[in-house]
């Protein structure tokens, strides 16, 4: 494995048997880039999390995972997967259950001390449903994916609605490969100040890097999704970068616990 000055954790990877790529392909990229651990985020529409469990069991200490369960689950499926080692759940920011308890997924996650990986866009993060979840579950660890859905055409006023959520101390946020919010090709030019604004609002200890592998392969590629932000943020201290690229993820996701 490539040596790094601090531990690097990739907090947003997708794997699968029938969509995307198997874990062996991810491990190849992790080894060549020096990524020590990763969080596996189940892709939407797949509530069979068995492959994630198998990967966690086969590679002790390397992976954590976020499940997807049926929209009408009453908490039983969440508990069953959690018992098998899955420590998170992926939910749309304004998600409500189709069962008898609209908040069953959020409530069960809070009861089990799971991490909620929050899929979103800036407008959905402002929804009444997400505001309610934040109010009702202030101690539930929630990770905003993909800088809240910021893209190259997202204006700064809109992005300010994302960074304003930093007031909620249970929220952390994922800094993706810059190809998600910069115009290709890489190396990127005219980079919008989303990383700086995010760090100013949340601080390095509540920001975590995530590649979005394998979709990132159609943008700048896995290597550049790490190397470009590492270089872009090279003016920060080694400790600040260690939090962004590893320590925050280890604190929140606890891979291998």
The whole-number pLDDT of residue 256 equals 67
Q: What pTM did the predictor assign?
A: 0.96
Instruction: Please give the pLDDT value at position 257.
Output: 60
Q: Which three-class secondary structure string do you get for the chain?
A: CCCCCCCCEEEEECCCCCCCCCHHHHHHHHHHHCCCEEEEECCCCCCCCHHHHHHHHHCCCCEEEEECCCCCCCCHHHHHHHHCCCCEEEEECCCCCCCCCCCHHHHHHHHHCCEEEEECCHHHHCCHHHHHHHHHCCCCCEEEHHHHHCCCCCCHHHHHHHHHHHHCCCEEEEEECHHHCCCCCCCCCCCCCHHHHHHHHHCHHHEEEECCECHHHHCCCHHHHHHHHHHHCCCCCHHHHHHHHHHHHHHHHCCCC
Low-confidence ranges of the chain (pLDDT < 70): 256-257
For domain 9-253, give the fold: TIM Barrel (3.20.20)
Residue 3 has a pLDDT of 85
Instruction: Give the tens place of pLDDT for each residue, 106-157.
Output: 999 999 999 999 999 999 999 999 999 999 999 999 999 999 999 999 999 9
């Amino acid at each position: 494995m490539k040596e790094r000055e601090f531990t690097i954790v990739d907090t947003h990877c997708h794997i699968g048997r029938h969509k995307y790529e198997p874990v062996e392909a991810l491990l190849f990229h992790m080894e060549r880039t020096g990524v020590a651990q990763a969080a596996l985020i189940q892709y939407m529409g797949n509530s069979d999390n068995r492959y994630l469990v198998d990967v966690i069991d086969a590679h002790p200490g390397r992976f954590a995972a976020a499940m997807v369960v049926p929209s009408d689950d009453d908490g039983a499926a969440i508990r069953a997967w959690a018992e098998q080692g899955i420590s998170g759940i992926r939910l749309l920011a304004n998600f409500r259950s189709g069962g008898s308890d609209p908040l069953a997924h959020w409530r069960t996650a809070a009861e089990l001390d799971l991490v909620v990986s929050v899929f979103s866009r800036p407008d959905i993060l402002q929804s009444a449903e997400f505001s309610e979840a934040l109010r009702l579950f202030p101690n539930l660890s929630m990770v905003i994916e993909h800088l809240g859905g910021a893209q190259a055409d997202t204006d700064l006023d809109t992005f300010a609605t994302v960074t304003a959520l930093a007031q909620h101390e249970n929220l952390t946020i994922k800094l993706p490969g810059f190809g998600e919010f910069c115009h290709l090709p890489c190396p990127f030019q005219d980079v919008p100040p989303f990383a700086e604004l995010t760090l100013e609002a949340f601080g390095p200890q509540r920001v975590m890097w995530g590649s979005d592998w394998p979709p990132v392969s159609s943008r700048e590629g896995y290597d550049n999704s790490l190397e470009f932000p590492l270089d872009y943020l090279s003016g920060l201290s080694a400790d600040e970068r260690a939090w962004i690229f590893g320590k925050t993820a280890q604190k929140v996701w606890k891979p291998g616990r």
